[in-house]
Structure 1
């Protein structure tokens, strides 16, 4: 009976590992086949970041958008008519050239070994590190998908989503409410949003504030940055005062009713998420630790491993 019990415990332990790291992904997957893989990705991201800091939030967002459509298989990287990149939610993604550059270097060092999906997952981690966030170990071993359709981009979170809708979209991938607050906070503590997404919050038909729940001393600042007669293409920091640094000020802004998007604002006004926001905004909160956990969890959504998918030679096209 003791042997049977021990075997059962081993099975449970392995099941937990699979649930956390995905089937076939593991830390150090390329340690023998391409030992410099992570270094190549890291130095490439750092090089591009030095000349264009916008690549950091761009790569983080690109990885998130990839995982929410058919899993983390690099399908968002494929170009062409009606590909995921052409969908409305993806047309402003930034940083494809960074992934292409890293792939060229990896193909020169280790031909046909490192997947584009893994490059994107590693680049997202390195983007957080470069913007003053903490690093973490990324399980690798994903393979690349061969299908990319704009019509499949239908479950990405929207700037106008209520909390209930956000919860439904995240839970579809077994991401809970804590993961939701963590990943949204991490994705929005760096980067910008187009003014078109907030015009309806800061102006009504007479040109006054449309959303009375916003900090009324903050609204004039947004109105200057996003004039009512503008074309909506101007951009504002998602984390006012700290848009280039990965930190917890995003949550502090929420507590001051300075959430930029409606989908951000509801994280503070909803009892189901306010306590999580309060936890992360505390000086000794564990946001960075939780973000690493939630990123690992998200980055193994629907991964292709083993003989599924392929290792693309060029990230923008199937072999």
Structure 2
């Protein structure tokens, strides 16, 4: 009986937390009596008059690229996360110069830049100097999710592109070795809660990771000269040790259904099949474990909450005011 009550409590908490951001998204254009936040200046019809075809172009181009290489779906979502996690969703991750976020150690395995460049080039042909790179990346992440079989959500637009990108700031992004407390704090600073942490980690249902991100778990975990005991031994010996020959070799984060956007990622954690220690810890930690259990058993809840959490992620520290940022002509460089 205690287990039933606990599960019900988790579901009620999930539904309550989910409702608030959805209501906020629906009212994104409505005036507030309090101080207006930057994200409140985003709107669903931002390009209605200046570039009504923008979303269609982004969707078409994103689909074309993923059709050629399915792994780009996860790469685009990850690129969006890395962008929003540093200085907010301002496309600073796309700037390509010495000392930029893109050149950081934490960014070395990021992919999908060519997709955004292709989309931007087409938008510049049809709507010059109108659609920001930050909006393109945010919308492309949504479209990549849908193409992979995930949920739809409306993306509010109006983000400006940032002019500052610093490598050392990008190295603060979690890289798979952190404890749960560090992850929670990283998300909280950006206005995201524990539910968002667990839900957005669910994007690993279609992602991959380089062996360098988890090789310490394979043979010398925390200097013990032994594998991580929280890693399934059959998975370790029959698969991971054979596949991980080089640091940059890539392994699917979901060993069971790597090309399906589903809740298998969470179910895997109950079987000690979490590839990254940060993922496996989400299941064992008393603060995040109940969310893992709830999302694993309720696919519809995961999809609805993923949409809510992605909207929140896309609103982190956005630049929307006239004196903030710019609309880059080329996503790789600030305007001259």
Please, what TM-score do these two structures have when normalized by structure 1? 0.90
Query: Helix, strand or coil: the match of 1:236?
Result: strand
After TM superposition, give the deviation of residue 213 of structure 1 in Å: 2.0
Match of 2:159 in 1: 142
Alignment of structure 1 residues 153-232 onto 2, 5 Å: 153-186=170-203, 188-204=204-220, 209-220=226-237, 221-226=239-244, 230-232=245-247
Asked if the contact 2:90–2:134 (Cα under 8 Å) also holds between the matched residues in 1, the reply is yes
After TM superposition, give the deviation of residue 283 of structure 1 in Å: 3.9
Q: Does 1:288 align with 2:306?
A: no
Change (3 A) 1:111 1:196: same
Match of 2:86 in 1: 69
Q: Does 1:266 align with 2:273?
A: no
After TM superposition, give the deviation of residue 306 of structure 1 in Å: 2.6
Provide the rounded CA distance (Å) in 2 between the counterparts of 1:71 and 1:89: 16
Moved over 2 A (4+): 12-19, 204-209
Q: Which is helix-richer, 1 or 2?
A: 2
Segments of structure 1 that go 5 or more residues without pairing to the other structure are: 1-11
After TM superposition, give the deviation of residue 195 of structure 1 in Å: 1.1
Please, what TM-score do these two structures have when normalized by structure 2? 0.86
Asked if the contact 1:279–1:285 (Cα under 8 Å) also holds between the matched residues in 2, the reply is no
Provide the rounded CA distance (Å) in 2 between the counterparts of 1:252 and 1:208: 28
Counterpart of 2:54 (choices 34, 37, 53) is 37
Asked if the contact 1:192–1:235 (Cα under 8 Å) also holds between the matched residues in 2, the reply is yes
Query: Helix, strand or coil: the match of 1:193?
Result: strand
Provide the rounded CA distance (Å) in 1 between the counterparts of 2:261 and 2:36: 29
Provide the rounded CA distance (Å) in 2 between the counterparts of 1:17 and 1:51: 46
Asked if the contact 1:54–1:94 (Cα under 8 Å) also holds between the matched residues in 2, the reply is no
Match of 1:250 in 2: 265
1:67-99 CA distance string (max 9 Å, x none): 011110001111011111000111211111110
